[in-house]
Amino acid sequence: MKKKVISAILVAAMMTGCLTACGADGGAKGKQTVSIFVFGNDQEQAIYTDMFKAFEEANNCTVEAQMCIKDDYNTTLTGMMTAKDLPDVFYMGPEAVSQYVANGYAMEITPVLDELGLSTDDLPQDILASYSIDGKLYGLPHDASVFAYAYNKDLFDAEGIPYPDPNKPYTYEEFVEICQKFTKDTDGDGEIDQWGMGAANPFMFYQYVWSNGASFLSDDYKTVTIDTPEFKDALQKYVDLTLKYGVTPTVEQDASLGVYQRWLAGQEAFYACGTWDVAAFMDKEVFPYEWDLCGYPTLSTGISTTWCGTVGYAVNASTKNKDLATKLAYFMSADPDGNRTLSGITTGASIQLPNLISMANGEFKDAIADGSLPFPNNTEVFFNYLNGSDGYAGKFMESTYTPNGEWIDIFFNSLDTVKNGSVTVDDYIAQMQPQMQEALDNAWESVQ
Amino acid sequence: MSKRNEKYKMSTAARKENRYGLAFVTPPFIGFCLFMAFPIVFAFIASLTKWNGMNNMLDNFVGLRNYIKLFTDEKFWKVLLNTIIYMIGIPCGMILGVVIALGMNRKIRGIKVLRTMYYIPVISSLVAVSILWAWVFNYDYGLFNSIIKAVSGVHGPNWLGDEFWVKVSMIIFMTWKGLGTAIILYLSGLQSIPRDYYEAAKIDGASGWTLFKHITWPLVSPVTFYLLITGIIGGFQVFVEIVVMVPNGGLNYSAATVVFYLYEKAFTNNQMGYASAMAFVLAIIIFIVTAINFVGQNKWVKTID
């Protein structure tokens, strides 16, 4: 008898263990609940947690937040979609809008915003457009980021070279000449240990392509167009920096210490600075040098061009509480306090530009001017790229408009063979073009 | 009457026993269905569709097209070949393992410390040791190239950045990774061989090599078989070390393995259907190789009995 009881208890315990794991259900009684799933590093997650608390207090509700690091986000979100268990609010990049809408995951938010009296007039309209289809808005930007160029002022001082003019980016030839002056052996051991620039291929080659009037894809994003003379010329000029002029670390040197680490170690005069890098670069413990922003060198078009990025908040099309979910998305995107925190106006550490245009032009610039927000002087470089100006332009990477980025990964995966001189530009293009086209065709086919 | 009663009683007891038996079997059975059988069936159905993680799987049925495409996918054959090349590390690990186990199978001072040291890789986090080895292989500052430069004055190879050397690097890593398990298992295998076999052979004048060849090696063959099977199955599933040491799959995809490619297809490029087909083909390959091993074992695996 005793045995029977014990075994029955054991079995019951095991069954309960199995079942409870599947049926977890949260939410405080009485209050409305809204769920959100976002990614961010520790610092960002701490900021978001505070923002969720503020939202809870203002709206007398409970925010069920799930957060993870960026690398884990897509895998988890796909799992949620498969399990039909999407949170009320989640991240969506511009590349995903059409698919999320077509498959019924993202809701059109304009009607709800209008109903709630929430205006999007103060948000950057170009970025909003990337979350719209046929004039219908499906997302609100979490951020608008820019991958600008930066230079190490201390190295310029040491070489006695005048700082770059942010209003007049260097031409390619001028840039090479300047870089050559920085490239040298500083400790006399016979090996180069200081370079003009560092080149991280997947992030820093677009600038050469676009500024030369070339592109990876045709206007309809269906054909790979890397075999044009402009593209080949851009690629040649890019690899020449390493091969011919030697103003970047070699492929082997890149393998031992990445270009980002070399920039932090003060070994490179030029390196990129994303809007998210500012707080880190301003921190003297991370980067103990004086620095500022400038434009990427220009090629045949004369326009310095770089890529911009954005991720936005989508509202789940099958949410039970459209109003509250839309309110939360709007709060995360356009709440003034949240904008102040993330852009560093109140914290002194900037990880993104304010989404609110009035704040970007007002409080944000004031905080930089009065020194309460440590920021490089040439702030305008970011805004020039973001909004476009005479000499500057910003674009989304072309993979933003294709169902997946496999075709571009193929290009970058072997680019080092050209940079180390083992394959010529012509051969490389001839070899890559069909492979990329095949991957691109597959990508389009997968969503037909 | 009594006989009938007895029979009736017996069958009641048996039935009860069966019931309890079933009750105990049920949880793992449910677990198997939920976490093994269901995903397998799900993946098979997915492999016949153009599912991308977002669209409705069943609306996008494409039949065997993913499988046909897979067999003409050059990249798949490339990563399969890479995966098989890395398996060179399995016999290397076994040979080294048996040699070290022989060395350890004697009473020497500090033997426990040595055994622990060799076993540490097995219990360490694969991510952590992969990061460590990425440094060992570093072009300028790595341990290997520092030694090569100190000894010969020449700069060593670009271990993880070169299409050929990245494979050598991975084989070295796999050998090292498998060594701990091989040593421990061979050691237990060696210790279970009765002493009198050796004594009898020695009386007949057998040399050290003959002892090894005719007694030791055949009698540890079950261990060799076990290591071979688990090594091959694990070898086909190599993923973490690649992601950590060569996150882009290596120059020209020279370091990528099947599971790495599968993961990229599924979670980077949203081709879940295609990735599922690849997973199925991989499972079938593993099944066939394991089956061949099991059939072939009668020819070379010997037991003391």
Query: Minimal CA–CA distance to A248: which of A182, A172, A195?
Result: A195
- Shared domain for B287 and B141, answered yes or no, is yes
pLDDT tens, residue by residue, B56-83: 888 889 999 999 999 999 999 999 999 9
Is B305 inside a domain boundary?
A: no
- State yes or no: pLDDT of B196 exceeds 60: yes
Are the Cβ atoms of B269 and A406 closer than 8 angstroms?
yes
> Which of chain B's residues have a Cβ under 8 Å away from the Cβ of A412?
248
Write the CATH number for B289.
1.10.3720.10
Number of domains in chain B: 2
B226 in A contact zone (CB under 8 Å): no
- Shared domain for B196 and B278, answered yes or no, is yes
Comparing CB atoms, the residue among B24, B141, B269 nearest residue A11 is: B24
Q: Check if CATH label 3.40.190.10 holds for domain A32-144+309-365.
A: yes
Query: Minimal CA–CA distance to A300: which of A212, A216, A171?
Result: A212
SS3 category, B155: coil
Comparing CB atoms, the residue among A82, A254, A445 nearest residue B53 is: A82
Indicate the domain borders of chain A. Answer: 32-144+309-365, 147-307+385-446
Q: Give the residue from chain B lying closest to A17, CA to CA.
A: B27
Residue in the structure block whose two tokens are 């911009």: A308
> Which of chain A's residues have a Cβ under 8 Å away from the Cβ of B253?
413-414
Interface of B with A in 103-162 (CB under 8 A): 138-142, 158, 160-161
Q: Which domain holds residue B101?
A: 68-300
Q: How deeply is A188 buried, as exposed, middle or buried, from its count of CB atoms within 10 A (0-12, 13-18, 19+)?
A: exposed
Report the distance separating Cα B18 and Cα B26, nearest Å: 12
Report the distance separating Cα A131 and Cα A126, nearest Å: 9
- Shared domain for B29 and B134, answered yes or no, is no
> Which of chain B's residues have a Cβ under 8 Å away from the Cβ of A446?
50, 52, 270-271
* Chain B interface test: which of A4, A70, A256 (most B C-beta within 10 Å): A256
φ, ψ dihedrals at A229, nearest 5°: -60, -35
Query: Minimal CA–CA distance to A298: which of A163, A208, A165, A197?
Result: A208
CATH number for the domain formed by residue range(s) A147-307+385-446: 3.40.190.10
Q: Tens-of-pLDDT digits for all 448 residues of chain A? A: 555 555 555 555 544 444 444 333 444 457 899 999 999 888 788 889 999 999 999 999 999 999 999 888 988 998 898 888 999 999 999 988 988 998 899 999 999 999 999 999 999 998 999 999 999 999 999 999 999 999 999 999 999 999 999 999 999 999 999 999 999 999 998 889 999 999 999 999 999 999 999 999 999 999 999 999 999 999 999 999 999 999 999 998 988 888 999 999 999 999 999 998 898 899 899 999 999 999 999 999 999 999 999 999 999 999 999 999 999 999 999 989 889 988 989 988 888 999 999 999 999 999 999 999 999 999 999 999 998 988 999 999 999 999 889 999 999 999 999 999 999 999 999 999 999 999 999 889 887 7
- State yes or no: pLDDT of B299 exceeds 90: no
Angle at A132 between CA A126 and CA A134, to 5 degrees: 115
pLDDT of residue A18: 42
Query: Minimal CA–CA distance to B156: which of B174, B143, B175, B173?
Result: B143
- State yes or no: pLDDT of B282 exceeds 80: yes
* Contact between residue B187 and residue B105 where contact means Cβ atoms under 8 Å apart: yes
Comparing CB atoms, the residue among B158, B248, B267 nearest residue A74 is: B267
- State yes or no: pLDDT of B5 exceeds 90: no
Residues B84-106, mean pLDDT to the nearest whole number = 92
Query: Minimal CA–CA distance to A293: which of A309, A317, A277, A307?
Result: A277
Is B33 inside a domain boundary?
A: yes
Distances (CA, A) of A217 to A184, A214, A222, A302, A398: 38, 9, 7, 21, 7
- Shared domain for B15 and B78, answered yes or no, is no
CA A320 from centre of chain = 31
Give the minimum alpha-carbon distance from A442 to chain B in angstroms, rounded to a whole number.
9
* Chain B interface test: which of A15, A19, A76, A82 (most B C-beta within 10 Å): A82
B17 in A contact zone (CB under 8 Å): no
pLDDT of residue A240: 97
- State yes or no: pLDDT of B260 exceeds 90: yes
- Shared domain for B195 and B296, answered yes or no, is yes
- Shared domain for B23 and B100, answered yes or no, is no
Are the Cβ atoms of B161 and A406 closer than 8 angstroms?
no
Residues B220-226, mean pLDDT to the nearest whole number = 93
Residues B135-152, mean pLDDT to the nearest whole number = 93
* Chain A interface test: which of B12, B19, B54 (most A C-beta within 10 Å): B54
Are the Cβ atoms of A257 and B160 closer than 8 angstroms?
no
Structure tokens at A213: 């009037």
- Shared domain for B151 and B31, answered yes or no, is no
B72 in A contact zone (CB under 8 Å): no
Is B62 inside a domain boundary?
A: no
Sign of CA dihedral B33, B36, B42, B47: negative
